[in-house]
Amino acid sequence: MSALRAVVFDVDGTLAETERDGHRVAFNEAFAAEGVDLHWDVERYRELLAVTGGRRRVATALREQGAPDAEAVAARVHRTKTDLFLDIVRRGEIDPRPGVRDLVDDLHAHGVRVAVATTGRRAWVEPLVTHLLGAGAVETTVCGDDVETLKPDPEAYLLALRRLGLDAAGVVAVEDSGPGLAAARAAGLVTVVVTNPDTAHHDVGDAAVVREAFDRPTPLTAAALDDVLTGARP
């Protein structure tokens, strides 16, 4: 690798398609368990993905309904949702996106360091990342718990860079969404966006590369990411 020192991956929608059949299901189960009058179908949930962070997402929907105590109810529902989503993770129901494991193995084989920056909660992020990539695959994992301000703010990416002891010049971010891309770009990172059905409509014009998959039309490799970085920072 001539330039690439590390890759920082987002989790939700990037390492795995967690949202529609994972987080969304856990939110709906939590609403029922907590007696909250909300239910998110696929279309509504897609809209609400513009709001990062599960607790903020619930609070936004409750405020729209004019519900009293939106923040407190959202905090309670989100604790229940976190437990329910952790159950889904522990049952092994979430697979990595095709090609993700091959890319991470290839990065390791080329001595490129791997980190994670997500707005999700550590309670489920760590077991999920271990399940998806194997124990010890990721050097540092920045979660929503670690930052004051969630994506699209750059704080999570800036903290990942600080923990890696690197500046942005040798690092590529891999994201799936508009808010995630905005966070990575605001941290100065060259960013590859791998879209999914939930994010295909997002504005990702600021990405160095936009693809629909890791494994198609050609596999995304360490060498390909090094080329992207070199091309973006000649």
Known catalytic residues? 10, 12
- How far is Cα 49 from Cα 192, in angstroms, rounded to an integer? 19
Residues forming contacts to Mg ion in the complex (CB under 5 A) are 10, 12-13, 176-177, 180
Stretch that binds ligand XBP, among 96-104, 159-167, 172-180, 189-197 (CB under 6 A): 172-180
Shortest Cβ 35–Mg ion spacing (Å)? 30
Name the H helices within 17-167.
24-33, 42-48, 54-64, 70-90, 100-109, 122-133, 155-164
Bridge partner list, 211: 194
Question: Within positions 178 to 197, which residues make up the interface with ligand XBP, using CB under 6 A?
Answer: 179-180
Stretch that binds ligand XBP, among 12-20, 32-40, 66-74, 216-224 (CB under 6 A): 12-20
Question: φ, ψ for residue 139 (rounded to 5)?
Answer: -75, -40
- With CB under 5 to 8 Å by kind, the binding choice for 119 among ligand XBP, Mg ion, none is ligand XBP
Query: Binding of ligand XBP at residue 119 (CB under 6 A)?
Result: yes
Angle, CA of 197, 81 and 175, to the nearest 5°: 35
Are the C-beta atoms of residues 66 and 4 closer than 8 Å to each other?
no
**Is residue 121 near ligand XBP by the rule CB under 6 A?**
yes
Q: Residues 4, 6, 13, 46: which binds ligand XBP (CB under 6 A)?
A: 13
CB-closest chain residue to Mg ion: 13
Instruction: Assess 52 for contact with ligand XBP (CB under 6 A).
Output: yes
Q: Does 22 contact ligand XBP by CB under 6 A?
A: no
198 lies in the site for ligand XBP, by CB under 6 A: no
Judged by CB under 6 A, which stretch of 105-113, 116-124, 126-134, 193-201 contacts ligand XBP?
Answer: 116-124
Among 3, 4, 5, 12, indicate the residue that binds ligand XBP (CB under 6 A). 12
Are the beta carbons of 153 and 183 closer than 8 angstroms?
A: yes
* Residues sharing a CB contact under 8 Å with residue 203, sequence separation 6 or more, in sequence order: 178
Q: Which residues pair with 9 in a beta bridge?
A: 116, 174
Contact criterion met (CB below 8 Å) for 192 and 225: yes
- What is the smallest separation between the CB atom of 155 and Mg ion, expressed in angstroms? 16
Structure tokens at 136: 């010890």
For ligand XBP, give the closer residue by CB, 86 or 224: 86
CB 115 within 8 A of CB 139: yes
Longest dimension (CA), the chain: 56
Should residue 120 be labelled a site residue for ligand XBP when binding is judged by CB under 6 A? Answer: yes
Residues that bind ligand XBP (CB under 6 A): 10-13, 19, 23, 52-54, 81-82, 118-121, 144, 151, 177, 179-180
